[in-house]
C-alpha cells in the first residue's frame, strides 16, 4: 500500500479532530460567560461599549480582574471611558450593578437564588447541546470526506470502514468530554 493512498484518509481524520477540538473550545468559551457564584472576568469582557466614536469590547478598553470571589474590577485604560463602560454594563441585562469608584468600576455579584441557578443550568445545557451538534456536524463532514476518498483515490473498502470507525470513536470521545464539562459547570453553578 502506497503512502499517498492513505494520505487523504489521514487528512480527513486530522481535520475532523481539529474541528472537534475547536467546537469543544468554543463551547468552553461560552461556558465562561455563564455566571456562577464566583466572579469571572469573562462575564463582562465581551460587552460592547461606545468610546472614541465607535463600539469596542470591554476587554479592549480596560483591564478586567476578579480580585475577590464575588467582585469584578474594571480598570479602564482611559479614565474618560469610565461612564460609557458603566452604561454598557447596566444595559447588558446581566443583572449586574456596577459602581464607579474613582477611576475604576467595581461590580459586586449578588448571591444567586436557587431559581436563577436552575435557569443558568438550562443555559449551560443549551450550550452543551450546541457543542454536541457541532461535533456531529464535523462527523458528518468527515464521513462524506471519506466517501470521496474511496471514489477518488481507490482506497479499499476495509480502509474506509476502519477510518469510519475511527471517526465514530473520535465523536464519542468528544461527546464524553463535552458531557464532562457540563457536569463540572452544573456543579459550579449549583454550589452555594
* pLDDT per position as a tens digit, 96-111: 788 888 889 998 887 7
- Same domain for 119 and 184? yes
Q: At what angle do helices 114-152 and 157-190 cross, to 10 degrees?
A: 170
Average pLDDT, the chain: 85
Structure confidence at residue 1 (pLDDT): 37
CATH classification of the domain holding 27: 1.10.132.20
- Same domain for 10 and 64? no
Express as a percent the part of the chain with pLDDT over 70: 94
- Same domain for 94 and 185? no
- Same domain for 66 and 132? no
Most confident among 46-55, 128-137, 154-163 (mean pLDDT): 128-137
Could you say which of 108, 135, 151 is where a domain stops? Answer: 108
On the question of pLDDT at 73 being above 70, the answer is yes
Structure confidence at residue 14 (pLDDT): 92
The domain total for the chain is 2
> Domain of 158?
3-33+113-190
- HEC readout, 35-69: CCCCCCHHHCCCCEEEECCEEEEHHHHEEEEEEEC
SS3 for 104?
strand
In this prediction, residue 37 has a pLDDT band, given cuts at 50, 70 and 90, of: low
Measured CA to CA, the distance from residue 72 to residue 41 in angstroms comes to: 7
Amino acid at each position: 500500500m502506497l503512502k499517498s493512498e492513505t494520505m487523504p484518509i489521514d487528512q480527513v481524520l486530522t481535520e475532523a479532530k481539529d474541528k472537534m477540538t475547536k467546537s469543544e473550545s468554543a463551547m468552553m468559551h461560552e461556558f465562561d460567560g455563564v455566571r456562577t457564584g464566583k466572579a469571572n472576568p469573562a462575564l463582562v469582557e465581551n460587552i460592547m461599549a461606545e468610546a472614541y466614536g465607535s463600539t469596542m469590547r470591554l476587554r479592549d478598553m480596560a483591564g478586567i480582574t476578579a480580585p475577590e470571589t464575588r467582585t469584578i474590577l474594571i480598570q479602564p485604560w482611559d479614565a474618560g471611558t469610565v461612564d460609557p463602560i458603566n452604561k454598557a454594563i447596566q444595559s447588558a441585562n446581566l443583572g449586574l450593578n456596577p459602581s464607579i469608584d474613582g477611576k475604576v468600576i467595581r461590580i459586586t455579584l449578588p448571591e444567586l437564588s436557587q431559581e436563577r441557578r436552575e435557569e443558568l443550568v438550562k443555559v449551560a445545557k443549551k450550550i452543551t447541546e450546541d457543542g454536541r451538534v457541532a461535533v456531529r456536524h464535523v462527523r458528518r463532514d468527515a464521513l462524506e470526506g471519506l466517501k470521496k476518498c474511496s471514489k477518488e483515490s481507490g482506497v479499499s473498502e476495509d480502509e474506509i470502514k476502519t477510518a469510519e470507525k475511527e471517526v465514530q470513536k473520535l465523536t464519542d470521545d468528544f461527546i464524553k468530554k463535552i458531557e464532562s464539562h457540563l457536569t463540572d459547570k452544573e456543579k459550579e453553578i449549583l454550589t452555594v
